[in-house]
C-alpha cells in the first residue's frame, strides 16, 4: 500500500521529492492532472469532479494514504472527500490536505498579520483565513490571487514569474508571515524572500515532509499498512514533451507516464 500525492499538475512533484528525501523507504504514487491544469481558474464543480476522479483512481492503484498537494483542490474538494466520499466508498483510506499544516506554521511565533498568495479559487474559498482564524481569531489575514503565476512557472518562464512576484510583494511588506499557497510557488520562493527579507516566507516544500512524518508517528494504524519497498510511480493525465521537460526540472531522474484509466 502506497503513499499517494495528488496535484493539479506537476508542482506537487516538489512536495513529493521532499517526502521521499525525508521518508525514502515508503512506496509512493504521484498523480498529476496535467490535462486540466490550472485548477485555479475552474469552477468549484469542475475542481471537485476532477479531484474526486483522481482520488478514485489513486485508491484503485493501492494508495492507502493520499495527500492532496494542490491547495485549490484542498480548499474545494477535501471536506467532501473526507466527510461524504470516504466513509461510504473507501473507509480504510485517509486523504489529507496541505492547508491546515501550512496555517499552523504561518501562525506560530506570535504572528499578527499574515498574507496569503494563491490561485483565484483558493483565495475565493477563504480557506486559509478560516483555518488561520481558528488558530487565532485576532489574526489579520490578507489574501491575494496570482492567476498568472502558475502558468508562468509551468511554461518555465521565470522572468515573467519574477515580474509577477515583484508586482505582488508591496502588498505583503507589513506581514509577519506570507503563505505561498500553491505547490508551484516553492519554485519562486527565492524571489519572495529576496524582495521581502523581513517577512517569514512559508513554503510548503519545507514543512510538509515533517508534518507527514509526525502524522505517521501519531497514526500507527495507518503507518503499519504502508509498504516499504522504495517503489516510485509517477503518472499524469496528459503527457507531452513540455510536461516531461517540466518534470525533469522539478524532480531529477523521473520516469513520467500517462495514465489511460481516467
Catalytic residue among 22, 63, 175, 182: 182
**Between the CA of residue 75 and those of 59, 93, 126, what are the distances in Å?**
20, 19, 8
70 is catalytic: yes
Active site residue 108: no
Task: Identify whether the C-beta of residue 42 lies closer than 8 Å to the C-beta of residue 121.
Answer: yes
Q: Exposure string (b/e) for 118-149, b if CB count within 10 Å is 16 or more? A: bbbbbbbbebbbebbbeebeebbbebebbeeb
Per the residue annotation, which of 22, 61, 70, 175 is the catalytic one?
Answer: 70
Q: Is 113 exposed, middle or buried (0-12, 13-18, 19+ CB in 10 A)?
A: middle
- Strands in 28-32's sheet, in edge-to-edge order, are 94-96, 63-68, 2-7, 28-32, 232-236, 256-258
Distance CA 179, CA 114 (A): 7
- Which residues are designated catalytic? 70, 182
Amino acid at each position: 500500500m502506497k503513499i499517494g500525492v495528488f496535484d493539479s499538475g506537476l508542482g506537487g512533484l516538489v512536495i513529493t521529492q521532499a517526502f521521499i528525501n525525508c521518508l525514502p523507504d515508503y512506496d509512493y504514487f504521484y498523480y498529476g492532472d496535467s490535462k486540466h491544469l490550472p485548477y485555479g481558474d475552474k469552477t468549484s464543480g469542475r475542481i471537485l469532479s476532477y479531484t474526486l476522479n483522481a482520488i478514485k483512481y489513486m485508491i484503485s492503484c493501492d494508495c492507502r494514504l493520499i495527500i492532496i498537494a494542490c491547495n485549490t483542490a484542498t480548499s474545494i474538494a477535501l471536506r467532501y472527500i473526507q466527510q461524504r466520499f470516504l466513509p461510504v466508498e473507501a473507509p480504510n483510506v485517509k486523504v489529507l490536505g496541505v492547508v491546515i499544516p501550512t496555517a499552523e506554521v504561518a501562525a506560530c511565533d506570535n504572528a499578527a498579520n499574515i498574507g496569503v498568495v494563491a490561485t483565484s479559487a483558493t483565495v475565493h474559498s477563504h480557506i486559509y483565513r478560516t483555518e488561520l482564524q481558528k488558530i487565532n481569531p485576532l489574526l489579520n489575514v490578507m489574501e491575494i490571487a496570482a492567476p498568472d503565476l502558475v502558468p508562468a512557472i509551468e511554461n518555465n518562464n521565470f522572468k515573467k514569474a519574477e515580474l509577477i512576484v515583484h508586482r505582488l510583494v508591496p502588498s505583503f511588506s507589513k506581514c509577519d508571515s506570507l503563505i505561498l499557497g500553491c505547490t508551484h510557488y516553492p519554485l519562486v520562493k527565492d524571489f519572495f524572500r529576496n524582495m521581502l527579507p523581513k517577512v517569514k516566507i512559508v513554503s510548503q516544500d519545507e514543512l510538509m515532509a515533517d508534518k507527514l512524518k509526525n502524522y505517521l508517528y501519531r497514526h500507527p494504524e495507518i503507518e503499519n499498512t504502508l509498504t516499504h519497498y522504495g517503489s516510485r510511480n509517477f503518472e499524469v493525465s496528459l503527457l507531452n514533451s513540455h510536461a516531461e521537460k517540466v518534470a525533469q526540472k522539478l524532480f531529477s531522474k523521473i520516469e513520467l507516464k500517462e495514465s489511460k484509466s481516467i
